[in-house]
Structure 1
């Protein structure tokens, strides 16, 4: 992944990540996340847990991996993080499954210009020994992504990266006023091997190859 757009947005030319490329990242694992640990901290790329459960929630509470854009700012579970703990998840693409003749065919969805996607997310301190937890914000699918699934991650354009991570924006209307998703015309997808159905093999670059 190319982090240059994010590095430029947050005015940190030396921002980088040491993570090895991963091609099949399952929920309930550590993922690369750009965030501020507090309002005064610089943006860092860290490994956080893909599974959101606030520290105040009990051990039986859900650990969602996604939060809907329509309700993330008003839900008791998500609203505090939307206000103060927004983050970005850099990715080259994601998988969705399309029903074809009674079976589910995985598709890889990415940017047509091959640039890094920056997925909007929220994070929270958890009440266990795991790293802080993350949920990716989703919105109704747009562009060609609608051919595969009715929802998609909220991928922000480059001008939105800095304000999304800016702790001075705390109100929903203000945040929405300074952030935009990428143009729907940038989204493309293709079918890939059903090998992605088996989590564990996340170093195989062939998983994203078109069939």
Structure 2
């Protein structure tokens, strides 16, 4: 799963790391953001893979008929399971024709130990940002003639450190390598062409425990200290 992400990078680092232009207005420090708040996020679309564009989290399929239905479905399309992309009407078309890459530099996940859940921050060992496979869509509200560009993050079976932390549902976002990014954003390739040729990245990931404040929607979680490492109780520190 990937519902709680972080992205604290400069436009310069993003441009160099992903070989793509990003306007300064699209990149502000995000220490914690919940997908359920439907945030705007800088995204690389297959239509323009060398330039970040602002899309909103929570994919609205192009065939949705009205604003009420669009609002309802977005909370069901925050993530898209890789294994069933071609089975779900919400994602089938986008998986072949509208893929994107979503930058983050870490995400928050919970490990269950003896009936209690403990939060961790998962990130690359070198602290650099990385890209998640995603799907995007352009939906037009026929009543207002206003268009919306939205996205969903693709998830896959958890591997390595991610499986140890997310030890109940055992899911993780599909992390793209640099080569995988080029394949994923290639509009000449169908999802069937891709499925056997790219694998999720996970071996350079690391994690550490963070405060339970990250679990409370009543807290202001978009603050630098939300990513701070803590010394938790023994069961939280029993890791790996």
Q: Within 1, Cα distance between the matches of 2:227 and 2:49?
A: 33
- Identify, as 1 or 2, the structure richer in helix: 2
- Structure whose CA Rg is larger: 2
Specify the SS of the correspondent of 1:24.
Answer: strand
Q: CA deviation at 1:101?
A: 4.8
Q: Within 2, Cα distance between the matches of 1:205 and 1:48?
A: 24
Change (3 A) 1:130 1:103: farther
Q: CA deviation at 1:53?
A: 1.7
Equivalent position of 1:111 in the other structure = 124
Confirm whether residue 148 of structure 1 aligns to residue 165 of structure 2: yes
Confirm whether residue 23 of structure 1 aligns to residue 41 of structure 2: no
Q: Within 2, Cα distance between the matches of 1:164 and 1:68?
A: 15
Report 1:46-61 matches (<5 A): 46-58=53-65, 59-60=68-69, 61=72
| Deviation by residue 1:36-69 (Cα, 9 ceiling, x = unmatched) | 4x4xx45321221110121312433522100001
Report 1:60-209 matches (<5 A): 60=69, 61-63=72-74, 64-128=77-141, 129=146, 131-149=148-166, 150-169=170-189, 171-182=190-201, 184-199=202-217, 201=220, 203-209=222-228
**TM-score normalised per structure 2:** 0.75
Contact 1:6 1:161 in 2 (8 A): no
Aligned residues: 200
Equivalent position of 2:4 in the other structure = none
Equivalent position of 2:51 in the other structure = 44
Q: CA deviation at 1:73?
A: 3.1
> RMSD of the TM alignment (CA)?
2.1
Contact 1:136 1:153 in 2 (8 A): yes
Q: CA deviation at 1:203?
A: 4.1
- Identify, as 1 or 2, the structure richer in strand: 2
Unaligned stretches of 5+ residues in structure 2: 1-8, 231-240
